Chains A and B, each alone.
Chain A
Amino acid sequence: MKRKKQLRLGLVYLILIVLSAIWLFPIIWVVLTSFRAEGTAYVSYFIPKQWTFDNYIKLFTNSSFPFGRWFLNTLVVSVSTCLLSTLITVGMAYSLSRIKFKFRNHFLKIALVLNMFPGFMSMIAVYYILKALNLTQTLTSLVLVYSAGAALGFYIAKGFFDTIPYSLDESAMIDGATRLDIFLKITLPLSKPIIVYTALLAFIGPWIDFIFAQVILGDATSKYTVAIGLFSMLQVDTINDWFMAFAAGSVLIAIPITTLFIFMQKYYVEGITGGSVK
């Protein structure tokens, strides 16, 4: 019996090792590629024949693909988006969870319906509205668009607020606290996990979106964010010169994002299962 168990455990280890290899392989490959000095986009081997740091240096010195500039752009956009959308999401979620006002239920249903339309559908119209406001090809417009989306993404945060007992609010109100006081001094301090989750998600958004950014920024290369910048390196006429640099850029982006994600995976699970997993 014990032997059988050990055999089974050994098998599990074996499967997991094979699977891990499959899953990690592309990631290791991109790291290796980022140090490869020779060849073009497609080579028939994995381990570089010559190692170099030039791909990383190229990213920050070449002016046709100004990666450093893109990195700063993205940082500016994502920090602003993070602040704005966290405020918006938390405000919306709090109102819809705690305050009973007239159109609350209608609003919740409308928001649900609005969320079901594919975002790309309104993309072109958004572009023309931004153009009317004279904002296309600016980073401000990106912040606006990303943050406006946050107003309808309140469901997870609302679910969290719903779990905070309402009696806390009531007793504070009896003591004469206003809604504002309750929001700032009771609800917010209790909601740290969901605020962190919302903020991180909003922060990551601009680093990985390349569709809206592409449409809004058009050909203004100096305003690009890293996602469209890196994507633009892989066009047919540039891929052979730039694939290794793309790999290097990917590594540079993936490190901070991965760290953030591993840090917030706990909140992520809670968000998906609607708090049914504690």
Chain B
Amino acid sequence: MKILLVDDDEALLTVFATTLKKHGYEVITAPNGQGGLEKAKTEKPDFIFLDQVLPDIQGNEVLKTLKDDLETKMIPVAMLSNFGQNELIQKAINTGAADYILKYLIEPDDLDAKIRDLTKAAQAQPDREQPL
């Protein structure tokens, strides 16, 4: 299973990548939104962790582009953030995020279960469309 990590925080990339590799995942990374979008299309990952604050394009915009594209819309995306305000969470979920993860609360070893739960949920509703 291939996981794409999009974040400009190198330390977080290192920790998440090390954890996921330990659990047997193949991991690819991108340090910005543009790189993330390109890798999502060319590498066809099974799951994406997407940071909310990126140096070039905002995470929500990247998410919207992914969800508007037929090739990438089925890939579950979990937003990563340092901020837990309801409006931010709601915005991400409305844009199509499968989950909203607070970086400082999640334990790295819980990422594995998260990926399994969210991909299972995504497969259970294959025709899930964005509300008009």
Genuine A/B complex: no
A residues whose Cβ falls under 8 Å from a Cβ of B: none
